[in-house]
Structure 1
Amino acid sequence: DDSCVVGWSYGGYVSLFAATNTPTQFNCYVSIAGVSDINAILEDTRASETAQMVDNIMVGDRDSEKGKAHLEAISPIASFGKLKRPTLLVHGTGDVVVPDDQSEAFYKAAKEYNLPVELLLLENGTHSLDSNPNRKQAFDRVINFVKANIE
């Protein structure tokens, strides 16, 4: 059966995690406003709300060497080289919950190795993509991407 993983926010992280940890299980992967590097987002002053969420779900000290190593190990960017199937990253440049450099860093790393990754940046787009033109552009691209990879 043909299928793709599509996720937004935490779901975007899950999609990227699946893309790098089960790289051939699905036809494609889509991350909308997803986290790719947990340690980097914890140091990003714009993302204090996201850091608080990580603190709420993590057991242990995220500032210890062991904690940092664990967060790196579960960050998709640490395994970007395992990417095998088409992956689309969608991110708003005005996202303060998960800043767009999370998607840009993953994209640049994967693109450098000619891996199947695409990036759609939406000018001034928020985490919710609450501007209708941004949302329409994002959904049109996601729908076309998924259709192209499952038909």
Structure 2
Amino acid sequence: MEKRSVTTFAGKPVTLLGHEVKVGDKAPAFTCVKQDLTPFSLADVEGKVKLVSVVPSVDTGVCELQTVRFNQEAGKLADTAVITISCDLPFAQGRFCAAKGIDNAVVVSDYNGHHFGLAYGFLIEELMLLNRGIVVIDKDDVVRYVEYVAENTEHPDYDKALEAARALL
């Protein structure tokens, strides 16, 4: 299994597990869990641009802001699936979405098997949480933008990710 030391969490170096995806790669298949405990995969949003917002936990300030921001943007992006992925349990995600009015983005959990985290190289070995970042995938399931943040307490580059997604419409 690939391991990379390219990021920090609260200033401390952490190790990312899994294959680092790069622009031009075919988007790896993965399965996560929706809030109703049914599976979610890329096939569920086939033929759409996909903006995948990756957060360690929706129960933290930066993750909350990132999830709310992309939910708002999702309402403005035609033919685009905005997907937020964390390792929070689906029940906690459901409470969060209800409290914050998350209704445009799909919020799914990678807690059960870490399929996304390992397939895309976002799983933090020391914490078994996902590294903050963004992946934009085109309608043909090719990766067109990737950001693994250098420090997990910092925001990703929202503008670059949104620009990449809009360029695919």
Structures share fold, TM-score greater than 0.5: no
Please identify which structure carries the higher strand content: 2
Relative CO higher for 1 or 2, CA cutoff 8 Å, sep ≥ 6? 2
| TM-score, normalization by structure 2 | 0.29
Please identify which structure carries the higher helix content: 1
